[in-house]
Amino acid sequence: MIGAIFALEAVKSDDFRENLKRLVGIIQVKKLSSEDFYREFYHAASKAKHVVNISYLAPDPPGKHDHQYKKDYYKNLQTLICRNSKVTFRRIIRRTDENYAWACELLREFEGRANASIALINESDSTANPAALSVQVIDSRFAWFVAVKDHDQYGDWRDIFVENEQLAEAMGIYYERLWDRSDELLRCGKLTAEGRRLLAENAASTGDGTMASADQP
């Protein structure tokens, strides 16, 4: 399936492209810059009907030195999750020392929100790019492959977007596999034992019982 997608991008014959579309059911596939991804993913998430599955596999949290469009995305997404209680939002975060404070910030933000779940996945701490593929899936209809080569953008694109129900369903299954490998911190708005432990460790590390501030706005 994925090979067919990249073949579709490469071929020049309109007839062949249309036949291949019919064969694999592709509606749309395109390369995205980092800025395009954040804008288009947020727009799709705001129109979601059922489930938004998010992966964050960078070794560092969103930072104060990020572009403004990225800061706006995270701020607006948090508001969207709180506002759109009928849609389930799940986020997998890579387990690193650098990401812990941000994970704790999200736990405090979304505790009590029945539509929010958060989990930490174990990946190598020695390499910036994880072995797992960072996938985002909305409503088993849209799928994004994020940071295909690197978390930073080199050249004119970084991510791949595909609108295809078969592929999105398959990537949804892959996301479930990643979720099953992860440690749940927040399940439907309720802290798990692991989530409470992480918050307690974070509070102890600040020395005053308050949460350490992550770089995310």
Q: What is the pLDDT of residue 3?
A: 52
Residue ranges of domains in the chain? 30-206
- Check: CB of residue 163 under 8 Å from CB of residue 29: yes
- For residues 176-203, give the mean pLDDT: 97
Give the model confidence (pLDDT) of 7-47 as tens digits: 545 444 566 555 655 555 667 889 999 899 999 999 999 99
- Closest to 121 measured CA to CA, from 77, 165, 91: 91
- Among 3.30.870.10, 3.40.50.1390, 3.30.160.270, 3.30.2080.10, what is the CATH number of 30-206? 3.30.870.10
Q: What is the pLDDT of residue 98?
A: 93
**What pLDDT band is residue 132 in, cutting at 50, 70 and 90?**
confident
Q: What is the pLDDT of residue 217?
A: 30
Average pLDDT score over the chain: 84
Residue 214 has pLDDT above 70, yes or no: no
**What pLDDT band is residue 151 in, cutting at 50, 70 and 90?**
low
Backbone conformation region of residue 62, classed left if phi is above 0, alpha if psi is from -120 to 50, else beta:
beta
**What pLDDT band is residue 215 in, cutting at 50, 70 and 90?**
very low
Residue 216 has pLDDT above 90, yes or no: no
* Residue 135 burial (CB count, 10 A): 21
Residue 212 has pLDDT above 60, yes or no: no
> Distance between CA 5 and CA 186 in Å, rounded?
35
Q: What is the pTM of this model?
A: 0.80
Strand partners, 89: 52, 116
Residue 70 has pLDDT above 60, yes or no: yes
> Distance between CA 15 and CA 4 in Å, rounded?
15
- For residues 76-85, give the mean pLDDT: 97
Lowest average pLDDT, out of 36-45, 138-147, 152-161, 182-191, goes to: 152-161
